[in-house]
Amino acid sequence: WPFWGGLSLSGLIQLKTMHLEANRITRIKCSFNSLRNLRKLYLNNNHISSISQAAFSNLKNLQFLHLNKNNLSSLPKHLFAELLKLKYVFLSHNPWNCDCKMLWFPTWIAPAPAPALPLERSSLCTHTPVRICQHSSARRLQHKTWVRPNLGEGQLN
């Protein structure tokens, strides 16, 4: 599948873990609507360059999302907004474009007063347009593993 948009997942309502790694997926433009009990989703080692904003919106029980080793340069601002149980997001080895479009991410991943996470060499920004966006958060975007503390409802705006 060069992209994943037409595959039906209905009938998999009890699925808790889904392994889709190393499948040459290039983009995700569908929603995982029927996977309401999914807790772990492995999308690593693909060629994913874009993910639709609603792709994960119905995964209310998702706790673990593995997106390492793809072609992601940015993420939609509200991609994780409805994932209140999400604890682990793995994003290293992607060619991140750390510009103003991604400034929302450090705020979401490490709400104040959480300490800054250590930078990993394998997950540094590929492009950081300093002239366009001079904001210290743009330099904190790339971490091998982010651990997101559970936030109360209404704090993911």
- Say what the pLDDT of residue 139 is: 44
Q: Which domains does the chain have, with CATH numbers?
A: 1-150 (3.80.10.10)
Residue predicted with more confidence, 8 or 146:
8
pLDDT of residue 117 exceeding 50, the answer is: no
Residue 119 per-residue DSSP state:
P
Between 75-84, 96-105, 143-152, the lowest mean confidence (pLDDT) is in 143-152
Summarize pLDDT for 30-83 with one digit per residue, the tens: 778 789 999 999 999 999 999 999 999 889 999 999 999 999 999 999 998 889
Note the helical H segments in 13-128. Answer: 104-109
- Say what the pLDDT of residue 124 is: 56
Peptide bond into 111 cis (omega under 30): no
Matching residue, tokens 């704090």:
155
Of 104, 103, 9, 91, which Cα lies nearest the Cα of 51?
A: 91
- Say what the pLDDT of residue 40 is: 97
Of 153, 146, 95, which Cα lies nearest the Cα of 123?
A: 95
pLDDT grade for 100, boundaries at 50, 70 and 90: confident
Of 148, 136, 137, 141, which Cα lies nearest the Cα of 119?
A: 141
